[in-house]
Structure 1
Amino acid sequence: MSRVGKIGIVGWGSSSALGGTPGEIWKQYLSNKTCIKRSSADGTWTAPLMASEEVQLQQIRATEKGYQRLDRSVLLGMLAAKRAVDASFWEKGKSMGLYIGSSRGATGVWETHFKNFQSQNGILPPHASPLSTAGNLATHTAQYIGATGFSSDNSITCSSAMHAFANAMVWLESGRYQRFLAGGAEAPLTPFTIAQMKALKIYAASQPSRLYPNRSLDLDKTQNTMVLGEGSALFALERSPSSAFAWVSGLGYAREDIASMTGVSGNGLGLQAAMRQALDEAGIVSVDAIVCHCPGTRLGDQSENVAVRAVFGKKMPSLTSNKWKIGHTLGASGALSLELALLMILQQEFIPIPYLAYPAAKGPIRYVMVNALGFGGNAISVVLEAP
């Protein structure tokens, strides 16, 4: 199979518990301290935006009267998109495509309207339907950054951002666009969403002394430790640019063929297929590092570990994840994992998990794989290559 093509990342923007500039985000990654915090109200662990990022978000909300009603996930998409366009030096109004992935979409707005629906005898304001739909992510973000081309969003559970990234790749390969913005945005720190994860019994227990509430990639843990976080990341992709921060050299996608609530199998056959396809397209047999999906659940982490070892065997790359640091941002998680992969390539430094003894990548970091999985068994892998 041939390579994906000469498509490069020429800029990106993000917002999360790590901050909003590459410098402060990298500084956070160099620290062994988690960004996950325990709620003083009920002890629930979450990873909310950094305080300075919250200020930026509210400044966007205040710029237009209509923005007051927008869901938090939409504002996160707008913030990351503006930063990505600025970082890539793309001219405002010049034709570009936009694809944003989000698992939950406008969940905060929806939960508020439904609560009011119950308390007000079924009466809702007219803006309830437009503002609770997922389409707000793409339309408002496109308007905010002045994008004139095709814009859309998708929801395919926790792999949503990576599927948006894959869709952007196909649009670029088709030749219809030379520039595409792609990634994900998610604001899942809402009562209903957290209650859903707790109902599945995969959420981290409220233990006040926990140094690392989310134990992503810890294969010896005896309980599930998933924690939700919020954030966004979008990447400016160009077809055959003169230079790039990294090249997208491989893309793979598959699904688990298993009828379970989460779609996770013990051997991760779907993820194995996705990783092999990505390696095949990149024309390589191994990578220097993998940013794993590993959400902190016992079955999910074990399944990915089995899949990785089945694919790479004795050529095992160094494994890492950012869930211990910023929690699981659901549909945006793949994009924030791509950001970590990109930063490791740019800084030529591997970011380990502080409570594990996985060997760090030796020598130059040329190839980094990013995995994403979602409920229903969706699996997708991307290989980034150093310029």
Structure 2
Amino acid sequence: MKHIVALTGISAISATGEDTNLHNSLANHNLSFDEDLDAWVGKLPKEIQFKIEKIREENRNYQALDPSVLYAMHVSRNAVAQAGWSFESKFGINIGSSRGATQLFETYYNTFLKEGKTETLASPTTTLGNISSWVAQDLQNNGPDISHSITCSTALHSLLNGVAWLQSGMCDKFLVGGSEAALTPFTIAQMRAMKTYSRAGQEASYPCRAFDLDKTENTMVLGEGAASVCLELGKKENALAYITGIGYATEKLKHAVSISAEATCFQKSMKMALEDAFVTGDSVGISSVREMAGTVDAIVMHAPGTLLGDSSEFKAIHALFGEDLPLLTTNKWKVGHTFGASGLLSFDLAVKMLQSQQYEQVPFISPQAKHKEIKNILVNAVGFGGNAVSILLRKA
């Protein structure tokens, strides 16, 4: 990277609550069994849902918005306030989602099936660009606003885009994020059709066994949530952490939702992030990569809780890092897989680990040897299409 990028504000909501210290309930997940959906899910706590509804009541135009938009508004307000940015300024905004206005779209479509027509606001409130544009309206921002969907790596692709705008000099501040509110019968049915969803009974201790390499079936659980991050170029006194390397890659697929056995996309994206942080010039060999990899103290894995997803990412890490692995962790066993928002919820976990110097142990995995200090953390995400992103974070 030409210049390091400072993280000056961050806000996240998930099944754990709002900006929760994830270490407080180490042995407990925040997933619940939903009788209506007949499935384990990661729902936002009632106190967060109350705050979201208060936003809806502020403005009559907000009453027609999908929860995914309101989630993004909530975390964006908090992140911008923490960073000390003026709401009426010209920072860039890029907030993405895998599914977008899922709840609203299904509601409108069900009405169409029954009545043969739909409501006036059906189109403008279900377009994907709806998220960033409404956040921009809410913050009265005059900079560029962009929305996109790159499946489950969407939020980290938003971060990539924000970093690119900053490095180009086209903006000096950028708000990036991801938001997902897809706890609907149709979405869960889609995951079950692929046979990836957890079949755990209501009494299961851990319905999602993300990063458990000994599991014998897929255990993915869907969650909802959102996160927004404020980025600024260069060193800042109020920096919470620094982005020092970025990596991305796409691999050739044999199937639309598959990933190779050793996740070559992750091997490429992690290697690129390390080179971006430490190397000037051409790509380097594996011995040099191993030397750079030794500076990484922890990796927050994508680890969706599926057999192939978890094992292939672990093999990719092992291929790049060798036997001397950094600390490995994930938060999906606790909050569920939040699709397009998941990468920045992992990013939020990494920031908290850097700040607290506490390691988030996955409770059903054998404890790993702890490093004396956590200085550098790699965050991974990947989505359908084999598109991987890896972000290297450094302690401020």
Q: Would you call these one fold, judging by a TM-score over 0.5? A: yes
1:379 matches 2:379 = no
* Equivalent position of 2:81 in the other structure: 86
Alignment of 1:50-69 (within 5 A): 50-69=45-64
**Do 1:213 and 1:227's aligned partners in 2 also have CA atoms closer than 8 Å?**
yes
- Count how many residue pairs are aligned between Structure 1 and Structure 2: 381
Q: Hey, what's the Cα distance between the residues in 1 that align with 2:271 and 2:23?
A: 32
Match of 1:326 among 335, 339, 347: 335
- State how far apart, in whole Å, the 2-side matches of 1:380 and 1:348 are: 24
Task: Give deviations 1:84-135, integer Å, cap 9, x for gaps.
Answer: 0011111121210000121001111111111111011x21112111111111
Give the distance between the partners of 2:277 and 2:370, measured in 1 at CA.
19
1:138 matched to which residue of 2? Answer: 132
Aligned to 2:283: none
Distance 2:59 2:2 in 1: 40
For residues 87 and 241 of structure 2, the distance between their equivalents in structure 1, rounded to whole angstroms, comes to 23
Quick one: which amino acid aligns to residue 149 of structure 2? Answer: S
2:9 is aligned to 11
CA positional deviation for 1:360: 4.4
| Structure 1 residues 280-319: aligned runs within 5 Å | 280-283=275-278, 284-286=292-294, 287-319=296-328
CA distance in 2, matches of 1:141, 1:91: 14
- Matching of residue 234 in structure 1 with residue 216 in structure 2: no
In structure 1, give the amino acid aligned to 2:74: L
Q: Pick one of 154, 175, 191 that aligns with 2:185.
A: 191
Alignment partner of 1:151 is 2:151: no
Provide the residue aligned with 1:115 in structure 2: 110
CA contact 1:223–1:298 (8 Å) conserved in 2: yes
Instruction: Give the aligned partner of residue 167 of structure 2.
Output: 173
Q: Give yes or no for contact 1:352–1:360 (8 Å, CA) kept in 2.
A: no
Deviation at 1:301, TM superposition (A): 0.5
TM superposition outliers: structure 1 runs of 4+ over 6 Å: none
Q: Residues 37 and 184 of structure 2 are in contact (CA less than 8 Å); yes or no, is this contact kept in structure 1?
A: no
Distance 1:30 1:89, change over 3 A: same
Q: Report the CA distance between 1:206 and its aligned residue.
A: 4.2
Whether 1:201 and 2:195 are equivalent positions in the alignment is yes
- Give 1:28 shift: 5.6
Work out the CA distance in 2 between the residues paired with 1:242 and 1:160. 27
For 2:376 and 2:235, locate their aligned partners in 1 and report how far apart those are by CA, in whole Å: 19
- Measured after TM superposition, the shift of residue 361 of structure 1 is 3.2
Q: Please state whether the residue corresponding to 1:49 is helix, strand or coil.
A: coil
Structure 2 counterpart SS, 1:129: coil
Check whether the contact 1:4–1:249 (CA below 8 A) recurs between aligned residues: no
User: Quick check: 1:8–1:238 contact (8 Å CA) kept in 2?
Assistant: yes
Contact 1:29–1:351 (Cα < 8 Å) also in 2: no
Identity of aligned residues (%): 41
| Whole-angstrom CA distance in 2 between matches of 1:360 and 1:49 | 33
Shift of 1:164: 0.4
Q: TM-score, normalised by structure 2?
A: 0.94
